[in-house]
Structure 1
């Protein structure tokens, strides 16, 4: 992994934490920073001691969006050759759970990063926004797609066209976030939820994530076939044997991810 300039990483118990670390710039995302985020997540994905990942932001904001100074002079050909969104696409390939702990501004690319998480816990006072239309452009790292799948076509158009700031309680109402907590409890609550997930059988957690993700795009029949395949597959795992044996013996199971 490249030397970290714009993020910090740490591991608590079985939880890998990525913290955006450009607080003076409200964690605006430049290309190097995105690469660092992705590579850190991929390193946690390979680490057998990490079962859940958290993304958070240092300072007053989760992320104010893309670093406009970096892209203001770009043109279409340069962007095509850079293919910068290939890094973003790698996040969707991660199989371990990703929890976003967001606060303050969650704007533009920061909103897209948050939407790439599996679960979002937000602090009171958090605001979400896609301001790109005010700059003559549009979301480009999945914002139009992921938001639409969450809130529906008409609401996504309203939010993205108007570039309105979406209060956290409205985001909660439309299923963008899972839970709203006091700001001082944000990381604590994210760690608590991550700890709960980390105690579950890792293979089942991974295949549940796969199956639920497929449900967004597949027909009901196709999704059920995919779910059934994963259900059967888990019966080849040691964790399934341990889980059912522990249930019969009325004890706490010891899952090993095998």
Structure 2
């Protein structure tokens, strides 16, 4: 079976919504365009977007399960985002100009015993991915199906918050790609590392409530990883349906 791209996703505001794409053009040395371009700093964070900092500086699904149920729609030209959540009215706002509107919208989703969201930060350099290099996350549908079988029920792929989904591989084959180059459509990416996972994966993307112990399922394979992080070394277009091959 030929490996192909089945889905492409980006997350304009880190941990605050996902958006499907039919195509994307990658640039060498950069993350996916508009993916994690913004992040939400909490009240104790000193992050200002000038340099990459770890996810501990931001409001995120691992600490606030309800955030998992947010979806996003980005208007690239206007740089406005429409957020949707089953428990909140839709919100259209400009992250660089309408932070107050966003903070008011998200406040009811934040537990009182958690650090509260304080401001929106725009990345002035590398995107706010969970790696300290600009990364694109590659996910294997066969590995996802293996996790579904282990927990005994269907799971949404959105628990993994990946960028590019690939089908036609063996389960966990992507782990063999570390330090290897992969051609996806018109781009070439070098796989740098496995993606370590946290409690964010326990949250249901439809409800924003924790309902499945994903980390224990992964632990049954003696690891806590899902997907791989890759660096773009040759830019180019990627469209759903494109071939994927290790080179």
The answer to whether the superposition gives a TM-score over 0.5 is no
Which of the pair has more CA radius of gyration?
1
Higher helix share: 1
Q: TM-score, normalised by structure 1?
A: 0.25
Query: When the two structures are superposed, what TM-score results if normalisation uses the length of structure 2?
Result: 0.26
Judging by fraction of residues, say which structure has more strand: 2
